[in-house]
Amino acid sequence: MERRGFFRAVMLAAAGGAALVSTRSEASPASGKSKVVYHLDDLSKVNFVVENNMTQHITGVGGPKNITMALVVLGPALAAFKWDGADAGMAGKLAELHAQGVQLNACANTMHKMKITLKDLLPGFISAPKGGNVRLVELQTQGFAYLRP
């Protein structure tokens, strides 16, 4: 193959791959609902993400009927969601988000390291048994847009 022809073939393949990547990362399934996953591992951002980002996101898209949202919590941030010592305002807002359909995922690896179970966490959490990072990738492959505030 001629050098110019090889270069053209590589560029076309790259362009095709970029097109596949961009369509996979779109967060608009056939239902018309956007899909988004929030990645939360920073303890200092818990209140801001729960009370502001996620709540305003739902409002911004016209309400929970227009979005499928998930929260994946891992690392130090998971401590904020323990029954023991949880901020009342944040816990109330989290309960409201869960009632609106937000899926709450807790990293099983972090839970193991912190020696806590789902019973120790605020209501609504489910375990991400393979870990928070694996869950983030799973959701992205299902068309969820990834946000890490």
* Section 80-107 average pLDDT: 96
> How much is the pLDDT for 85?
86
Task: Say yes or no to pLDDT of 11 above 70.
Answer: no
- Angstrom distances, CA of residue 79 to CA of 6, 103, 119: 54, 18, 13
Burial of 146 (0-12, 13-18, 19+ CB in 10 A): middle
Which regions of the chain does DSSP assign to beta strands (E)? Answer: 34-40, 67-73, 103-107, 125-128, 145-147
Nearest to 108, CA basis, from 126, 93, 122: 126
Q: Read off the pLDDT of residues 26-76 as tens digits, 9 standing for 90 and up.
A: 444 456 799 999 999 999 999 999 999 999 999 999 999 999 999 999 999
> How much is the pLDDT for 64?
97
Report the predicted TM-score, pTM, of the whole model to 2 decimal places: 0.79
* Section 2-9 average pLDDT: 46
* Tokens encoding 115: 């020696």
Fold of 31-147: Hypothetical Protein Ychn; Chain: A, (3.40.1260)
Cα–Cα dist 3/7, whole Å:
6
* Tokens encoding 69: 């949202």
Domain extents in the chain? 1-27, 31-147
> How much is the pLDDT for 6?
41
- Angstrom distances, CA of residue 72 to CA of 16, 120, 144, 145, 147: 31, 17, 12, 13, 10
